[in-house]
Structures are given as structure tokens and as C-alpha cells.
Structure 1
């Protein structure tokens, strides 16, 4: 089963694209006139010049909005697309789900004429995020098994510029660290169901840590411990944008 057939049913509401993260992606795409979105999900961050989306999950495809780019149900490792089909190819928070990373990246390079833009995260940096460091180390351990080292990804891309993407305090895209200043959100099972590291780790494994978090929020210990976060507008949790190809340096 495609993982998002099981956990992706609420993505259209809980994983709405954030305009500030979108600005990073748009800038990285530059003047590309045609874009293919691989691992497209429900269509987050697709620019107007997207000519095709590629997504393996039928559940995610059904959540794509009216007027979105045409979509084909396929995997990154075997794109049913001609060589050099678009100026740019983008892949947003998806490479860690691929079964064959080398094959998938080779396909991106085959299809892109000029540029490849990949949003991912740096696991060593993410491990210091309070949620996984203090409460849910089981989720961090799960991510250890699937996270792609940024250096390895850059090498497979043939070299890439790496840009930090800070997470806004009111981020509308509910990925793993989106709620760094809104800790109570992680107690919501709907929120957790749309964060793959939590959904795949499983509720039983997460329960003790979530109970500790709930207690610390009620007592005020979390706010005391993390008072330095409360006035911040954004936070670097390790999310990284890689830009390869023309104008990537």
C-alpha cells in the first residue's frame, strides 16, 4: 500500500501550503516556464507554470483542488515522462518516502531540462527540536531510518545549493515542526495523523511522551523551559531547500 493511502486523508485541510515557504520554492524555481511536481500529494506549492503532477496515492490525488495541474498516478522511480520534458522539476517533502532514492533522483535529472528543486530536512538538526528531543524520541528514531542526508542528496543531484527554510510561528502547513510555538497542537490526533513521522511511529509508542507533554503544558513547565521560543517569529528546525542545475550556484 502507498503510505499516503493510509495516512493522507486530511492533508487538504491540515497541510495547506504556507506562503512564506512557497516564496522560497518560487524563488528557487526562478524563471522556469514549465514545472513538473513529483510526489505532488494534494498539490501544495505547485506554481502556476506546473504542467504535470506525479503522485502514487489515489487518496492524495482525490484531494487535489479543481483547476490544479493535470496529474498522473506514478512513482518517482519510474516517471512516465519524456526526457527533458520541463524546465524544472520540484519535489517537496517526498524523497524520504521513495523506495529507491538513486533511481528517483536519476529520473528527476532525466526529466528536468534546467533545474531541480527539492525540499527536505537535515535529520541531525531536526533531532534537536524539542518535540522529538524531549518528548517523542521514538519518532526521531523512526525518522533516522528514512531521512536522507543532505550531503548524499546533493551529491546524487550532481551538486546543489543548500538553503535553510525557517518555519514561521504560524505556519499553515502542518508538517513535523510546524507547531514549534504551538505545542498544544501535537496533542490533537488529527494534527498527528497528517505528520508522517508521528502517524507511522504509532499512537501506542507516542502515548507516554504525549502524556508528559500534556502535563508540562498544564503545569507551565513547557512554557518555562522554552520561554526563548515564545517571542520568535520563525525557527530553524532543519528544513533545507536544495537547488541543482542552472543558476544553482
Structure 2
């Protein structure tokens, strides 16, 4: 299951059903709602949305039994359009086409002020003063986790 559990009507029940029907290893890519990538500084509603929609990591053990939770660092040039994939390319978040590929952006009522602040900070260099060191990294832990259970 890749970045899908938060879309299930009842994640705990869905995970329990997954455990019931799968005979081998279960592997799930999810997001830790306790993580706070820099984008949440501009769009705090993302953090609230993550907390509301993403199951806490403890839920996976409740449903699946013993689990291994491993951070998944995202490469700086990740071409997939999931929410925090553009951590080293903040300009991408100003592109409506890129935002349209994220269910989180579609779920937010108003991103205008936060995106305008991001635009202004990119133009002024403030974003680079605050977060520019990220651009020198090959990968980043944005809060994505691989949950596996045998």
C-alpha cells in the first residue's frame, strides 16, 4: 500500500483486514503525522490535515502486530508528485499543476496566503536563508515511513 491508508474510511479496520488476508509480508508506505517538513511553516493547515488524516504510527502495530518502521529518505530530484517530494525545489509548490497532483492540496480550503508568502520568500532569498542548506543534501527525511510486518 503506497500512500493510501489515509484515504481509507476506517484505517484500523482496513489494516486488520490486510493482516487477515495477506499470507506474506505486508509493506506500507505512509507518513508520520508528527513530522513537520518546512512546507508546514508556510501552510500550517497541512500539519493539521496530516494529523487528522494520517494514522499515528502506533496504529500499524495495533492492527498488524509486530512491525518495523523505517524512515524513507526522499531524493532531492524525486520526480513523483507526492506532497513533500519537492523539499529541495520549493519553487515547484508555486506550480498549480504540481499542486493538483496532491490530495492534500486539494483538501485545503485556502492556500493563497501561504503560497504568496513562499513566493515572496523565494524572491527575497529568505527561503534560502532559512532552508537553503537542504538544497545541498542528496536526500531528506520528510516524514515518510515504510511499515513492514511479516
Normalised to the residue count of structure 1, the TM-score between the two structures is: 0.58
Residue 131 of structure 1: aligned partner: 39
Say whether 1:177 aligns with 2:87: no
Give runs of aligned pairs for residues 104-143 of structure 1, distance below 5 A. Answer: 104-125=14-35, 127=36, 129-132=37-40, 134-143=41-50
* Deviation digits for residues 224-244 of structure 1 (CA, Å, limit 9, x no counterpart): 211221210000011000110
Structure 2: state its 5+ residue gaps.
none
Say whether residues 1:95 and 2:2 are aligned partners.
no
1:209 matched residue in structure 2: 114
Q: Write 1 or 2 for the structure with the bigger share of helix.
A: 2
SS, match of residue 226 in structure 1: helix
Of structures 1 and 2, the larger Rg is shown by: 1
Counterpart contact for 2:12–2:59, Cα < 8 Å: no
For 1:208 and 1:227, locate their aligned partners in 2 and report how far apart those are by CA, in whole Å: 21
Shift of 1:136: 0.2
List 4+ stretches of structure 1 deviating above 3 A: none
**Unpaired segments ≥5 residues, structure 1:** 1-90
* Between 207-216 and 136-145, the greater mean CA deviation after superposition: 136-145
Secondary structure in structure 1 of the residue aligned to 2:121: helix
How many residue pairs get matched?
150
**Aligned: 1:232 with 2:140:** no
* Matching of residue 186 in structure 1 with residue 93 in structure 2: yes
Determine whether 1:151 maps to 2:43.
no
Equivalent position of 2:102 in the other structure: 195
CA deviations 1:148-186 (Å, max 9, x no partner) are 111111221111111110010000111111000000000
TM-score by length of 2: 0.95
CA RMSD of aligned residues (A): 1.1
